[in-house]
């Protein structure tokens, strides 16, 4: 399945860098662009399990498309949240639900991030899917 254009752009941009430090800088830049998450969505049901940092994800469906917002307290994880929420928002619900997390390895961050941070992206994506499936 073809990835959403915005998500593919993030993947391509991350692949332009070979050094972990360069990827960190890009993640920090992405994270600085993450909009604030309204406090009403910062509740237990939106808390991503299995993350060392505090991460909230709010998902909603409108007109057959899915939209995401998020918040993280760790600067690098904020970048991951930005990539996932903006890269996947606007997808058709059915396409989103059939999306496999294999695209997360295409980001090329496994060798740059600690295992717990790299795993955060998987946990964030799982919660996004669970919220949309409900």
Q: What's the rounded Cα separation, in Å, for the pair 124 and 73?
A: 14
Whole-number Cα distances in Å, 104 to 40, 45, 100, 108, 125: 28, 23, 9, 8, 9
Of residues 48, 51, 72, 76, which has the active-site annotation?
51
C-beta of residue 113 within 8 angstroms of C-beta of residue 76: yes
Q: What's the rounded Cα separation, in Å, for the pair 30 and 28?
A: 5
C-beta of residue 27 within 8 angstroms of C-beta of residue 80: yes
Q: What's the rounded Cα separation, in Å, for the pair 132 and 48?
A: 14
Catalytic annotation on 126? no
Catalytic residue numbers? 51
């Amino acid at each position: 399945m073809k990835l959403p254009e915005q998500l593919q752009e993030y993947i391509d941009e991350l692949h332009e860098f070979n050094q972990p430090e360069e990827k960190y800088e890009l993640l920090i830049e992405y994270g600085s662009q993450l909009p604030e998450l309204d406090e009403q969505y910062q509740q237990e049901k939106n808390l991503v399990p299995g993350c060392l940092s505090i991460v909230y994800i709010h998902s909603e469906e409108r007109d057959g498309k899915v939209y995401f917002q998020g918040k993280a307290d760790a600067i690098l994880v904020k970048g991951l949240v930005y990539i996932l929420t903006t890269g996947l928002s606007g997808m058709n619900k059915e396409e989103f639900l059939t999306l496999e997390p294999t695209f997360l390895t295409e980001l090329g961050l496994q060798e740059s991030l600690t295992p717990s941070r790299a795993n955060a992206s998987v946990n964030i994506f799982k919660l996004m899917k669970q919220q949309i499936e409900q």
